[in-house]
Homo-oligomer: A and B are copies of this chain.
Amino acid sequence: MNKPFFLSLLILYCFVSNSQESTHNKQIKTIYDLALTQGNAYEWLDHLTNQIGGRLSGSLNAKRAVKWGQDELSEINLDRVYLQDLMVPKWVRGTFEYASIITGPGRSMNVPVCSLGGSISTPSAGLQAKVVEVKNFEELDSLGKKNIKGKFVFYNRAMPENLINTFDAYSKSVDQRSQGAAKAARLGAVGVIVRSMNLRLDDFPHTGAMNYGDLPNKLRIPAAAISTNGAQLLSSMLSLNDDLDFYLKQDCRNFPDVPSHNVVGEIKGSEFPDEIIVVGGHLDSWDLGDGAHDDGAGIVQSMEVLRLLKKMNYKPKRTIRVVLYMNEENGLRGGTAYAKYAKNNNETHIFALESDAGGFTPRGFVFEATKKQFNTITSWKPYFEPYMIDRFKLGGSGADIGPLKNGITVLSGLRPDSQRYFDYHHAANDTFDAINKRELELGAAAMTSLVYLVDQYGF
């Protein structure tokens, strides 16, 4: 190559590269401006939480949420909106859940409890028994059958307060909720009471999934969560009198699976329609609150990604799809079904993004990616820096997109600030008023910006 020609090429390259950068910066600025001044995520969430409300898989509200999602996506002129059929578990809380600490003959104190998702009911007259408090499964095992048989096991290990990311604190505690009943049942316990997964001391019991594993039906025992204040109280009362009785009554039930749906909407790619970029959250929620942070926020942010791209008249090169997954909370049937449909249809997913960590100020993204893919992503950080979302890390992305993992598809999760998440998670206070409009919108804008860059460059 002669020098002048090489130089011209170099200048051309610099020019193209600079002008590309400047285009991307402009597009991302447009995304943020639209999200913050003409956003629709907050209004959608208002409807989903306040007009529909909690939407546990298999419930009437879950059905209404599917209809709503399909209708709203149809309103924004996507190229295609459709449902994917699947079967989901159906667990129903029932009409009462009630507990008290019996401190003496005729004396008792009520404590706030809620049934754990998947739990069986107590006998209709309730269950009364002594209580053994433990912090973990080792302590449970060392107490053994002779100390456990016929009693309630009270799991009271608090989430560790000194971990900065509250999801780490959750991971270190949630085994009590998910496996506690099965472990205690094998030692003859009559029921379990689990300290709520909440870093605050308050009166809200937090539900969530539990399962009995391969425990035979006749050995299964009821499981309930107790509020953190209730747990503190029960623990103090036990330290004064470890012979006290606890009373629990709940009438939740498991029913056979019922049909449900993922909701899917997409904009067809203009250059590489067969390369799919998918963004989503889960449409189901627990039944106590309105599923505002978990995961109404993720749902409306994901819908907003496609709405913003349409609004700015962007014609994607690749196919951009939003999926409202059903049944993340107690079965993951939606995520599993979606990956199966994708495989059966020979679809190529290059990127899957999930928002399922609350509608708080976004701090960054996590990625499941090869080193090369992650390097590409890291090179985009300067685009995000002005928006204060620049913590890009490798790590687990999201439950619903997990089944897409194949070593080629890049998986990613939005990571908002986590400090307040477990104040609301799976509890009656996960409602619309716990959402800040701007924080929600910044998340939607960050997701849209990332999807835009993936669409521009691919992997």
Binding site for B on A (CB under 8 A): 32-33, 36-37, 161-162, 164-166, 199-200, 361, 363, 386-388, 391, 417, 419-420, 423, 436-439, 442
* CB–CB B361/A32 < 8 A: no
A221 CB to nearest B CB, Å: 33
Contact of A417 among B33, B166, B200, B417 (CB under 8 A): B417
Question: Which B residues touch A417, using CB under 8 A?
Answer: 361, 417
Contact of A36 among B36, B162, B361, B363 (CB under 8 A): B162
Question: Which B residues touch A165, using CB under 8 A?
Answer: 388
Contact of A437 among B200, B387, B391, B436 (CB under 8 A): B200
Report the separation of the CA atoms of residues A169 and B19 in the bound assembly, to the nearest whole angstrom.
29
20 A-B contacts (beta carbon < 8 Å): A32-B162, A32-B164, A36-B161, A36-B162, A37-B161, A164-B386, A164-B387, A164-B388, A164-B442, A165-B388, A166-B438, A199-B438, A361-B417, A361-B419, A363-B388, A417-B417, A419-B442, A420-B436, A420-B439, A423-B436
Question: Which B residues touch A361, using CB under 8 A?
Answer: 361, 417, 419
Question: Which B residues touch A420, using CB under 8 A?
Answer: 436, 438-439
Report the separation of the CA atoms of residues A374 and B274 in the bound assembly, to the nearest whole angstrom.
50
Question: Which B residues touch A33, using CB under 8 A?
Answer: 162
* CB–CB A419/B391 < 8 A: no
Question: Which B residues touch A37, using CB under 8 A?
Answer: 161-162
Report the separation of the CA atoms of residues A180 and B172 in the bound assembly, to the nearest whole angstrom.
55
Question: Which B residues touch A419, using CB under 8 A?
Answer: 361, 436, 438-439, 442
A248 CB to nearest B CB, Å: 30
Report the separation of the CA atoms of residues A190 and B86 in the bound assembly, to the nearest whole angstrom.
68
* CB–CB B388/A388 < 8 A: no
Q: What are the 7 closest A-B residue pairs judged by CB atoms, nearest first?
A: A33-B162, A419-B438, A36-B162, A36-B161, A37-B161, A419-B439, A361-B417
12 new A-B contacts, CB < 8 A, other than A164-B386, A199-B438, are A32-B164, A33-B162, A36-B161, A37-B162, A164-B442, A361-B419, A388-B391, A417-B417, A419-B436, A419-B438, A420-B438, A423-B436
Report the separation of the CA atoms of residues A200 and B437 in the bound assembly, to the nearest whole angstrom.
8
Question: Which B residues touch A442, using CB under 8 A?
Answer: 164, 419
Report the separation of the CA atoms of residues A161 and B162 in the bound assembly, to the nearest whole angstrom.
35
Report the separation of the CA atoms of residues A437 and B199 in the bound assembly, to the nearest whole angstrom.
10
Question: Which B residues touch A162, using CB under 8 A?
Answer: 32-33, 36-37
A207 CB to nearest B CB, Å: 22
* Best-buried of A37, A161, A166, A363 by chain B (most CB within 10 Å): A161
| Chain B residue at minimum C-beta to C-beta distance from A439 | B419
Report the separation of the CA atoms of residues A387 and B32 in the bound assembly, to the nearest whole angstrom.
27
Question: Which B residues touch A199, using CB under 8 A?
Answer: 438
Report the separation of the CA atoms of residues A419 and B359 in the bound assembly, to the nearest whole angstrom.
12
Question: Which B residues touch A164, using CB under 8 A?
Answer: 32, 386-388, 442
Report the separation of the CA atoms of residues A419 and B32 in the bound assembly, to the nearest whole angstrom.
14
Report the separation of the CA atoms of residues A200 and B439 in the bound assembly, to the nearest whole angstrom.
12
Report the separation of the CA atoms of residues A387 and B164 in the bound assembly, to the nearest whole angstrom.
6
* Best-buried of A36, A164, A199, A387 by chain B (most CB within 10 Å): A164
Report the separation of the CA atoms of residues A36 and B386 in the bound assembly, to the nearest whole angstrom.
30
Report the separation of the CA atoms of residues A387 and B387 in the bound assembly, to the nearest whole angstrom.
20
Report the separation of the CA atoms of residues A437 and B200 in the bound assembly, to the nearest whole angstrom.
8
Report the separation of the CA atoms of residues A54 and B119 in the bound assembly, to the nearest whole angstrom.
48
Report the separation of the CA atoms of residues A36 and B158 in the bound assembly, to the nearest whole angstrom.
13
